[in-house]
Amino acid sequence: MSTRPFHPDEAKEELVCAHGLPAGLKKALDQHLPPGFRNMRSQRYRGEDFDIALASLSEVDQAHVRVVYELAKTLHNRWVAMRDAPDWDALLQLVTTVLSAPFSDAAKAMGHDTMATCHDEATRQALGKVLHDLRGGALTPLQLYARMAEWDTDPLHLRSAAFLARDQAKIMRNILPDLDPAVRRADEAEKPHFMHTVVEKWDGFQFERGDQAPGHVRVACGYQGLLASCCLEASAVDRIVYNYVNNAMRFTTGDTIHLDIAPVGEHAVRWVVANPIAPDQGAWLRQNTKGDLGNLFCGGLTRGGTGVGLSNCADFVAAAFGLPDIDIALDGKYLGAAVEGDWYLAWAHWPSLYAA
């Protein structure tokens, strides 16, 4: 990741990365996808709807949420205040607090008390969907970058941790509108987001594979427009991309996850996350989805997780294009997944904003 200041005039030059999906994989993916997508909305979707009131959580979990949120918000605000003249020692001290109580305990426990005391199945399912993203999102990568910063005190890791804290706080406000009403209102205000914010935070992103071996994300971006109309919409896109990348980090057998971003016609942007997988994972996917990996996005299919993260992605994509339900989104390939050889590919589309 570059630490030099970004200027909007440089967007087109900086966003075209040299590396993308392997040619054979890109060709295989093209066979799954139509050439364009229809947006049924008359007004742009701004990332709302898939949320709950803070009071829907137990008092115990409300306290956990506030601990996680306040530190995430404080960490990013501290970076913003010092970024022109960083105090790396002070930032390191704050970043590493995510590794210890009360933050680590709250992050681990968040949502469990609510689910343990909820006995209505429909309510449990609804809560489970949003709690998945509350506990997922940028939280695990934030803790990883805090550990890396603790080991080597690299300023780049500290800076990345601050951005991950920002993303986690924004996702939490997306999920819980009344968690921080004043900042949530600011999230809803018109504020076009440049694509460089995605490329900068993901290209070279480091992670631990399931066997604790190191890995990284490589981004190829051929889209020259803007990402989102406001912070709230950007956090909805983040909820999708973090779900995809978190899954890839969990199951990849290689040291590289590819994130490919490209325009589709004049009205959509395609996001593809690709990672190599073990033969038994490919077999499990084919068998448990009955050969249709779109079933992963309907909820309930999981290999050790909750099985709802991808259904959240389907909800957002369907809403963004004004589709009546996720079945139509999946049938139209607005999002989906496939196994090609020893690779897993997951894609999602989002309406373009002021495409160039």
How confident is the model over 222-265, as pLDDT tens digits?
998 898 999 999 999 999 999 999 999 999 999 999 999 999 88
Ramachandran angles phi, psi of 73, nearest 5°: -65, -45
| 194 membership: H or E segment, kind and range | strand 193-194
Q: What's the whole-model pTM score? A: 0.90
- Per residue, the 3-state secondary structure of 289-308, as one string, reads CCCCHHHHHHCCCCCCCCCC
Which residues of the chain are modeled with pLDDT < 50? 1-18, 356
Q: How buried is residue 60: exposed, middle or buried, by Cβ count under 10 Å (0-12/13-18/19+)?
A: middle
**Structural domains in the chain plus CATH codes:** 14-38+191-356 (3.30.565.10), 54-176 (1.20.120)
Residue type, 52: I
DSSP string, 136-193: STTHHHHHHHHHHHHHH--HHHHHHHHHHHHHHHHHHHHH-TTSSHHHHHHHHS---E
Q: Return the C-alpha torsion angle 23, 26, 27, 33, nearest 10.
A: -170
CB contact at 8 A, 112 and 80: no
d(CA 133, CA 145): 19
Ramachandran angles phi, psi of 217, nearest 5°: -100, 135
CB contact at 8 A, 312 and 133: yes
d(CA 228, CA 75): 24
d(CA 107, CA 165): 13
Predicted confidence at residue 19, as pLDDT, reads 52
d(CA 35, CA 29): 12
3-state secondary structure of 270: strand
Residue type, 172: M
d(CA 123, CA 116): 12
- Per residue, the 3-state secondary structure of 114-135, as one string, reads HHHHCCCHHHHHHHHHHHHHHH
Predicted confidence at residue 16, as pLDDT, reads 40
DSSP string, 61-75: HHHHHHHHHHHHHHH
